């Protein structure tokens, strides 16, 4: 990308794109955290003959389903934006403002 063809607002857009991609990368970890949370908030009652604590199934289920729906919504917001950028990536390699880093991160796990 030559500096002439990349005015400030384009770089800003590229920066935004990059942050969006970061968001997409982080989303599964957020999901993982939310899905694993029920492990923490009630002591696991697996001890032989000891079932004192009873999990609130309805509440757990509601929690999981709402987290799930939240994830779906976030992914639905993110993915069209990400999908659209893939088209113009060839024209504008990913460069945030002031960042001359190559696109190596693109493929990093």
Partner 1 sequence: MTFNLLVLACLAYVVFLFLVAFRGERLAAQGRARWLRSPLVYTLSLSIYCTAWTFYGAVGFAARSGLEFMTIYLGPTLVFVGWWWVLRKLVRIGREQRVTSIADLISSRYGKSSLLGVVVTLLCVFASTPYIALQLQSVTLSFGVFAATGDPSWTPPDRTSTALWVAAGLALFTILFGTRNLDADEQHTGIVTAIAVEAVVKLVALLAVGVFVVWFLADGPADIRARIEASQGAHWNLNPSRWVGLTALSATAVLCLPRMFQVLVVENVDERHLATASWAFPLYLLGMTLFVMPIAVVGMGVLPRGANPDLFVLTLPLSQGQGGLAMLAFLGGFSSATSMVIVASIALATMVSNHIVMPLWLRLRPHGEDATDLRRLVLLARRMSIGAILTLGYFYYTLTGGSAALASIGLISFAGVAQLLPAMLGALFWRGASRMGALLGIGIGAAVWSYTLFLPSFGPDAVLPAQVFAEGPWGIGWLRPHALFGIEGMDPLLHAALWSLALNVTVFCLASILTFPGPEERMQGAAFVNVFERDRADLGGWSRGQADPEALLVMANRILGEEEALVYFEQVARAQGKAGYLPDPTPEFLLALERRLAGSVGAATAHAMISELAGRTRVTVEDLMAVASESAQIMEYSARLESQREELTRTARQLREANEKLTQISAQKDGFLSQISHELRTPMTSIRAFSEILMEGDLPPDQAAHYAGIIHDEAIRLTRLLDDLLDLSVLEAGTVQLNLGLANLSQLIDRALAAASATRPERVFVVHRDPMAEQIHLRTDPDRLTQVLINVISNARKYCTAEAPELRITVRRKGGRVLVDFIDNGAGIPKDKQALIFEKFARLTDQTRAGGAGLGLAICREIMVNLGGTVAYLPGQRGAAFRVTLPLRLERGAA
Applying CB under 8 A, which residues contact partner 1? 21, 24-25, 27-29, 31-32, 35-36, 38-39, 42, 44-46, 51, 54-58, 60-61, 64-65, 68-69, 71-76, 79-80, 82-83, 86, 89-90, 103-104, 106-107, 109
What is the smallest separation between the CB atom of 3 and partner 1, expressed in angstroms? 20
Nearer to partner 1, 7 or 87 (CB): 87
Burial 44-70 (b: 16+ CB within 10 A, else e): eeeeeeeeeeeeeeeeeeebeeebeee
> Which 8-state DSSP code applies to residue 91?
T
Nearer to partner 1, 8 or 17 (CB): 17
What is the smallest separation between the CB atom of 71 and partner 1, expressed in angstroms? 5
What is the smallest separation between the CB atom of 11 and partner 1, expressed in angstroms? 19
User: Collapsing DSSP states into helix, strand and coil, what is residue 47?
Assistant: strand
Q: Where are the alpha helices (DSSP H) in the chain?
A: 8-36, 38-41, 57-88
């Amino acid at each position: 990308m030559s500096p002439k063809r990349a005015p400030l607002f384009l770089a800003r857009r590229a920066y935004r794109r990059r942050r969006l991609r970061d968001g997409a990368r982080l989303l599964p970890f957020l999901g993982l955290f939310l899905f694993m949370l029920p492990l923490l908030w009630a002591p696991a009652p697996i001890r032989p003959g000891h079932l004192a604590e009873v999990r609130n199934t309805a509440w757990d289920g509601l929690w999981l389903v709402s987290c799930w729906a939240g994830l779906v919504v976030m992914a639905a917001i993110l993915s069209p934006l990400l999908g659209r950028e893939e088209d113009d990536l060839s024209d504008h390699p990913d460069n945030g403002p002031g960042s001359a880093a190559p696109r190596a991160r693109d493929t990093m796990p």
